[in-house]
Structure 1
Amino acid sequence: MFREKPPTLTLIEHDPASAHVAGAWLVHMLSPKPVMNALSLQLQKAATEAELIWDLTQVSALDHIGAQMLWRAWGKQRPAQLILLPAQEGLFERLEQVSQLAIPIPPKPRLTRIMQLGTVMLGFLEHLLSFSVLLGQLILDLGRFIRHPLTGPWKELSANLFRTGFQALGITALVGMLIGVVLSYLSAQQLVTFGGDLFIVNILGMSIVRELGPMLAAILIAGRSGSAITAQLGVMRVTEELDAMRVMGIPQGYRLIMPKVLALAIAMPLIVIWTDVMALIGGMIAAQARLGMSPGFFIHKLPEAVSLANYWIGLGKGVVFGILIALVACHFGLRIKPNTESLGQGTTSSVVISITVVIIADAIFAIVFSKIGY
């Protein structure tokens, strides 16, 4: 059976100095790393000789990869003295034609400060318009769901409740309890100094029930469930499932967006209650360890320290935060382009914007309800 000879390069330094290329310069013969490294070193050495005669008549086979190696060693132009076989001429002619093609470099746009600001504002307005369209479609879908509840997407709603609600109980319980322990220890350290041990119930109750509980739950859900919603819609865009739904006449908003928004609107208040309870348990344990306050006394004083209005404000925050997180996640999920880079950027933007929107909404709650519950 005929066996191809390995590629070789022989340099002859006496007059006239020449480089004899022989063997099969094919991709499978050049692919072994030792062969590639050895030939690359020889080609680099040969490239330093200006008046070298290149003889390729002993090359038994030559493909585009082998020709590219020689072409790069020659500085992407034919050497002054080159001996080729007629069969090799076509390869190097094509390489010569490609090298002569001028690749235009697009001019970099020069943007002034005002133009950059205008670009940012236009992008913001575009997001605002898309978000308004999404919100309007959600209201229409909710109206349809209220009119015809029996034909509603109950399975999708149940699945989203399980994913965004039940599966988030573990992480919210852990973080809530740890925050309660930390807050209780830090508060007790200061209260002992001033002899106000009993006020730890007021501090923990008000801060957790009214502020920290809803905020912690919202931030955790934004990072966990919000990113999952965006990624799910993004993958459906990449795999063209959204286009398939549109072709089949399945309403995306009614089957995808509305169940997710409703699920988070229902699950978030329950998660807020769960986070509040776990944070208060953590604070209760730390208060007993640091101040010797019994859990029974802590539970007895809690209703006096925290009025019922604060519980309702916390639950209201949970509903609003859940709706905002779901809407932002769906908004960025639907804007993802059919490529993996856009999927990563959209998921990151979804989490960042969700947390930012939640903090802004919490600030608005603090201003609007500043005289209620104290």
Structure 2
Amino acid sequence: MLPPAATILPDRAASSSPADTRPRLERIAAASADGGVPVVRVLGRWGAGDLGDRQGVRALAAQLAAHEPAQAWAWDLTGIAWLDHVGAQWLWDHWGRAWPAQLQVHARERALLERVARLTVPAPPEQPWRLVDQVDHLGVLVLHGVDHARHLLQLVGQLALDLGRLARAPRRGPWRDVSGHLYHMGATALPITALVGFLIGVVLAYLMSQQLRQFGAESFIVNILGISLIRELGPMLAAILVAGRSGSAITAQIGVMRVTEELDAMRVMGIPHGFRLVLPRALALALAMPLISVWTTLAALAGGMLAADLAMNISPAYFVQALPAAVKIGNLGLAVAKSVVFGVLIALIGCHWGLRVKPNTQSLGEGTTASVVTSITMVILVDALFAVAFKNVGM
């Protein structure tokens, strides 16, 4: 509502537009206003088209800044030529989203200003920084993390129970789903993993050749490439690619089932989510990841072998002959074991985020993004744990 000191005049009669239509302010001496309060007259056209001129807007902003605080002035809008919602929003914001103490306005402009005041959402007051609020926010994040960890632990326990059920009655297992996921998550991932592995091997070989040549140790490139690719980079590269490719697909598939209410229909029909959704994907990735890891490692070794031949004149025959002596078989066993763990983790994390998707598209996108980020982070973390726990294996 308008302030008590507001003067509302009837709408002005139609008249010819003044020559100067620029939106501007004009200050009147304090003696001419009631109560000795200085008056600011609003003149010109205050419309969207008139406020679109950049130079005019700058000049108007300077004039408005010269009349702050707005509550200390009496405002006269009776001389304004045109006012629309844009101009009314300018004035309302300059007044601090509160009515000035004294205001003279016509009925039409009054209605516009009241509509803007009613529809403008007041800015929330700025809250001071408090340690208690930060501790509370940290506690909320910790509780969210505990909730996710609890749900993942439930998935792991349910997976163990489902594996026992499958061992008791293997003929009733979801083998068709497992074979389908093996194809989509394993066979179709071979081209991209081979390409990335080959290029990584080429890059590593070229970079190492520059350093080894300085010390005359070109032959040690077989040891460096063999250990780094077979033990660490091969399995981790394959897991990261599968996490971005298949982990997001798992979350998206289950999330769409949540959006289309298929998960609710399965629950109504008594079909367990763990046995029909989580178990086939976990089994498929547990079987596919070691094969993809070995495939990626072989492609990376092929790229490194080619780059070593071109950059250091180390023949492929010597590379293949020296590789078994440089890399013990324990490294390959460790890489395969890590890959199985990576596959199960990626499948469980993808299913976890898919089952927690809410029935809307925004939650589906957020869940897919969180699934990929969480899977890649867990792969790197578990790889670091394996490196520390089995540091003496294969060395």
Specify whether residues 12 and 41 from structure 1 end up closer, same or farther in structure 2 by C-alpha distance, changes over 3 A only.
Answer: farther
Give the TM-score normalised by structure 2: 0.71
Give CA-to-partner distance per residue, 1:2-46, whole Å, 9 cap, x none: xxxxxxxxx97339xxxxxxxxxxxxxxxxxxxxxxx9869x9xx
Report what 1:80 is aligned to.
107
Give the counterpart letter for 1:285 in structure 2. Answer: L
1:278 aligns with 2:299: yes
Specify whether residues 133 and 106 from structure 1 end up closer, same or farther in structure 2 by C-alpha distance, changes over 3 A only.
Answer: farther
Cα distance between partner residues in 1 of 2:134 and 2:150: 24
State how many pairs are aligned: 314
Report what 1:127 is aligned to.
148
Report what 2:224 is aligned to.
203
1:214 aligns with 2:215: no
Gap runs ≥5 in structure 2: 1-11, 17-46, 53-75, 93-104
> What's the CA shift for 1:245?
1.0
Report what 1:342 is aligned to.
363
Contact conserved, 2:255 with 2:354, CA < 8 A, in 1?
yes
Cα distance between partner residues in 1 of 2:238 and 2:122: 53
Give the TM-score normalised by structure 1: 0.75
> What's the CA shift for 1:80?
2.9
Q: How does 1:60-139 map to 2 (within 5 A)?
A: 80=107, 112-139=133-160
1:303 aligns with 2:324: yes
Cα distance between partner residues in 2 of 1:333 and 1:81: 55
Cα distance between partner residues in 1 of 2:107 and 2:229: 82
Report what 1:223 is aligned to.
244
Matched residue of 2:388: which SS?
A: helix
Cα distance between partner residues in 1 of 2:259 and 2:357: 8
Identity %: 54
Specify whether residues 332 and 108 from structure 1 end up closer, same or farther in structure 2 by C-alpha distance, changes over 3 A only.
Answer: farther
Contact conserved, 2:77 with 2:106, CA < 8 A, in 1?
no
1:261 aligns with 2:282: yes
> What's the CA shift for 1:131?
0.8
> What's the CA shift for 1:294?
1.3
Specify whether residues 97 and 203 from structure 1 end up closer, same or farther in structure 2 by C-alpha distance, changes over 3 A only.
Answer: closer
Give CA-to-partner distance per residue, 1:63-109, whole Å, 9 cap, x none: xxxxxxx9999999x96379xxxxxxxxx9xxx99997998999898
Which residue among 144, 150, 153 is the counterpart of 2:165? 144
Cα distance between partner residues in 2 of 1:117 and 1:74: 42
Contact conserved, 2:209 with 2:308, CA < 8 A, in 1?
yes
Contact conserved, 2:174 with 2:276, CA < 8 A, in 1?
yes
Give the counterpart letter for 1:346 in structure 2. Answer: G
Contact conserved, 2:85 with 2:116, CA < 8 A, in 1?
no
Cα distance between partner residues in 2 of 1:284 and 1:340: 47
What's the C-alpha RMSD, in Å, of the aligned pairs?
3.3
Give the counterpart letter for 1:156 in structure 2. Answer: D
